Structure 1
Amino acid sequence: MAGEITESIYAGNDDAKIAQDIRRGVGAALERFVDLVGTNEPALPAGVRETFVDLGAAEAREDRAPATLLLALRTAARVMLRETSNALAEARPPAIEDLIDLSDAITAYVDELVAATTDGFTLQLREQAGERDRRRRLLAEMLVRGSAPERAVLAAAEGIGWRRIDNVVPILLPPEQTRHAQFRYRDEAVALERERDSVLLLRQGRPASREMLERTLKGRGAVVGVTVDWARVPQAVRLAELTAQLASDGVDPNDPIFAEDHLATLALRGEQAAFAILTERRLAPFAALREATRERHLETLHSWLRHWGSRTAVADELRVHPQTVSYRIRQLRELLDGDLDDADARFELALVLADRPRR
């Protein structure tokens, strides 16, 4: 009978593992029902109940919904009601009260089977979720604290499904905002809860863009660190912590604070990590140039900034024709895409270039 029920449910399905699990569950249900006839034993003693708990857990481990197994058990209930009614009719004509009692008994029995199966499914999901949470906390802790071997970090990342880490954005959040952020970013972020705040590490991508973060973190009390490669997360977290201390009264408390807006201030306060990141960002447009061209452009830019854009003063210092200066500045404007017209960008460029000779 168990085989017939399985075949009726899985007609056209060639998954032998599923069919085997269903056949085992239906068979155990039918056998136990037969054993119960004429006794006062509980429907599912501990040993029998564990069989169905294990079946539900197996569905969760196989990443399958329990619906098919539960369908099989309910189908078995209909078969049991039909077969037992037929058997009773062969002995004597059943009264309507007998059929109602039989139906109630089978329904109650199957409800216990379903409850045991669902319990197993739920318990397994909780266990898996707990293991996933543990792995995610482990990766977050490795990245925030630093110093873990690269192979250990990559293995921890792979353990949560991150085939690549690339760059991440650290975000400081009040403890009460952690669950919301974890739910929103799901598999794209890991979090480490600390005594006074939480560090959310969000993988670089569209959700981590400034535009998106300004919208999604509004009113969350967030401090957004700079985007860095995973090995420099501890530095980025420290810069975010220092940025939180720099927040002025003029900042809207509902808006997230971005560490990238305060890199120059942190650099002037002696934070070498801030200076290094600021240098990388401001000099990134020059990275693809040949060395001689790059040095010529940087020399011209430095002079132009120090002389407040005076073409004559730059020409005198570099000992070139003023038209040569104009030509180079046009090239710099194309390369820097409007930064020469931005006061903050000019200040940061001047700060970075002033330190180049010493370095």
Structure 2
Amino acid sequence: MSDADPTRHASRTARGAAELELGQAAIDLLRSRLPDIAGKTVTAIIAEVPGYTNALAGPMGAKIEGAVQLALGGFLRLTGSGDPGTPLAPALEGAYVLGRGEARSGRSMDALLAAYRVGARVAWRELSRTVVEAGLPAETLAKFAELVFAYIDELSAASVSGHTDELATTGRVRERYLQELGRGLLQGESADQLAGRAELADWEPPRTLTAVILPSAHVRGILGALDPRTLRPEDDLTELGDVDEDPAEVAVLLVPDADGSARSALLRNLRGYQAWVGPTQSWTTARTSYLRALRARQLQLTAEADAPVDTERHLTTFVVTSDSAALDDLRRQVLAPFEALRPATAERLEETLREWLLHLGRRDEVAAALHVHPQTVRYRMGQLRDLYGARLDDPQTVLDLTIALAVKPSPPG
């Protein structure tokens, strides 16, 4: 433990506990309900602290529930001892170790302190209900409340101390390894190289990774809602040859296991943020997800208001723009009949032809999409048949026109 050993300050809580007269009946009742109180505390933390939604599921949740029981049990030992010298060292040492573990897991103290706040509220609600049931007077209840929150404060301080100490030593080394792992993923290193980097960083590989590109200023606001294993490569992305602007403006997150329903949750969490979300890939091929998200950003793809861009909804765009020069040649070839027309007329007919192809020639639907009268569509299609003749009934011509008109060309510059 650090020189600023939190156990040295345990006497404050111990003295208060020694002065508190709960009575053996109340203490026995409290002890009998500890498992239930611990379970409710962990349930509330999972529900209210996003950073622990996955971290406390399964075996980890049971482990934390046991730790909560031990902490509350230690507190009750204080209140039942009547001895101001009763040590708090075991409980505070456990909180200190918990803080170090959070740092090793790559999490900030934000989630843990939020968990302490939620835990204090739930624990006090359940403990106070029990002591009221035991018939304790209001004055004793007030002192009990003060003691509960003082105890939680000391546990929080011990965890902060552990977190700080870990970051000052091995935490910084691990952070460097995590950065190197993230960079290797973006560069597309081999599976063996990446597995070695993950082992060095003490990072448990997920099944999949999903790349998210967003402005750097938005990262802090979203990280707390994501899987704690999420990687944020901090390297200069311009060195990878992928972005041209100030790299401080652009951030990449690699989010573990965001497939299936978890992808929907990720997209919901990103609402309100300007973000581009790549496809879910095996974790060793995360570069594919990163490049797809980057391509969406370069194409300036947009989604509905406040929603992130889901690249899975734009696969056609990626396919038809994969060879931009070939697409330009195709457009010039199949749209050659428009060259003799005035630009405004050509633009109207091109737009009409696109909708006619997309709506399989259903005139009313084409008119609704263009916000014109069906007779206007009929007139324009007559002009198009004059330009193309029987070719509009040729399957190959229809295919070429569909591809050529599938994506509107980007404006110059």
Q: TM-score range by the shorter chain?
A: 0.3 to 0.5
Greater radius of gyration (CA): 1
Greater relative contact order (Cα 8 A, min sep 6): structure 1 or 2? 2
- TM-score (norm. length: structure 2): 0.35
Structure-1-length-normalised TM-score: 0.39
